[in-house]
Amino acid sequence: MAAKDRATRIQQKKQAEERLARRIDELKEKGKSQEQIKKDAVVRKYEALVKDAINRLNALDQKEIKVQQAKTAKLEKKAEPKVKKKDKKAAAKSDSKKKDKKSKKQKAT
């Protein structure tokens, strides 16, 4: 059950639901009460399979959302104007020159 395909998970859920319905019908035909049906091990197993399939489908939804967010973030980052390395160095040098002038003024006074 390591399938990551949505269609496979939907099919597994549908099969588990069908099996669960058949088992409940069988037990009702035998005259079992609702409490006995809920306690039946096979019924609980099929309910667990349905729940598992639902949880995995939800996990796939969350994964798709994360992938989509990552794609949009990547596109936004690409759309931003690039700052060239030379521009960064020039900005850093001008900042350091300003600091040097301030320190010289402070020393002079």
Q: Where are the domains of the chain?
A: 6-83
**Structure tokens, 24:** 């409940």
From CA 53, how far away is CA 20, in angstroms rounded?
13
Indicate the pTM of the whole model: 0.63
Percentage above 90 pLDDT, the chain: 61
Name residues of the chain where pLDDT drops below 70.
1-3, 83-109
Rg from Cα positions in the chain: 32
d(CA 2, CA 8): 10
Task: Report the alpha-carbon angle 84-93-99, nearest 5.
Answer: 145
- pLDDT for 79: 81
* Token pair in block for residue 39: 């306690």
